[in-house]
Amino acid sequence: MISYPPAKINIGLSVQSKRPDGYHEIVTIMSPIPLYDILEVLPAELFSFKQTGIILPCDGRLNLCERAFNLMKEKFGIGNVYIHLRKQIPFGAGLGGGSADAAYVLKALNGLFELNIEASELENLAAQLGSDCPFFIDASPKLAIGRGELLSPIKDRLSGIRIVVLNPKIHVSTAFAYAAIAPRVRGMDWETSWNSPIDEWQELFTNDFEQSIVAHFPVITELICALKNQGAIYAAMSGSGSSVFGLFEQECKLDFSKYEDFIVLNEIIH
């Protein structure tokens, strides 16, 4: 069974308060983008996990895909599998690649072993793996609250919009990002703002992580400005960084020749 876990971007991100459990209350809008990892899950006599493509740092912990399998094994007593993850979404980049991989392992195991688990229960299982993981069970535009796991469907506003993602090859840990900001409640009608013209979003949506992260990595501001200067109607950092993205209403030739050490991921969202 082969599937394609997508990346996501955040349109705005507000960190409202710190919770007693150590997590933070947030509000954000997430939308999938057509940038994918490749995930293969096959029945096997013994469990094994293989990762190719972008090399992930070895920190001694299990990969989220392995943790997703262990969760399903413990809860449902499923058989063993071979998992091959080809990593193409940069990690530590605010694009949710690891969360997507974990969610798609849950979905693959649900299908492979004919467990018939409903999407709502898969989301609850995914929430045990990470705050962004439930979003990828359905992977459609959502308003996310709580620690990011409480999801409400919203209209797709990015159909036909060109998105350019720039990744400066800087790894930003989530723990570092949260430690650098002061939570604050920001009164805002997120769904109304989402439904406003996209060329008004720059004044409506801000990412609370941006100010503190760019203080450490000023190239992020440079890339956001470069996107705006070349016609982006909205440009921002995604999640806790370090990737930035720009939304374009029409095709145009972009020039990033002055920047050497980053990845350009150029896609059309349908």
Q: Quick one: 171 and 144 in the same domain?
A: no
Residue 60 is given by DSSP the state: S
Q: Quick one: 129 and 235 in the same domain?
A: no
Q: Quick one: 139 and 78 in the same domain?
A: yes
Catalytic residue numbers, as ranges: 8, 132
Q: Quick one: 108 and 232 in the same domain?
A: no
Structural element, H or E, at residue 18: strand 6-18
Provide the pLDDT for residue 270.
Answer: 39
Q: Quick one: 179 and 228 in the same domain?
A: yes
What's the start-to-end Cα distance of the chain, in Å?
Answer: 25
- In whole angstroms, what is the distance from residue 265 CA to residue 169 CA? 12
Domain stop point among 153, 187, 213:
153
Q: Quick one: 192 and 237 in the same domain?
A: yes
pLDDT of 173 > 90? The answer is: no
Per residue in 19-29, pLDDT (tens digit) is 777 778 899 99
Domain stop point among 89, 121, 153:
153
Q: Quick one: 144 and 202 in the same domain?
A: no
Q: Quick one: 86 and 138 in the same domain?
A: yes
Per residue in 110-164, pLDDT (tens digit) is 999 999 999 999 999 999 999 999 999 999 999 999 988 899 999 999 988 999 9
How many domains is the chain partitioned into structurally? 2
Q: Quick one: 43 and 111 in the same domain?
A: yes
Domain of residue 121 covers 2-153
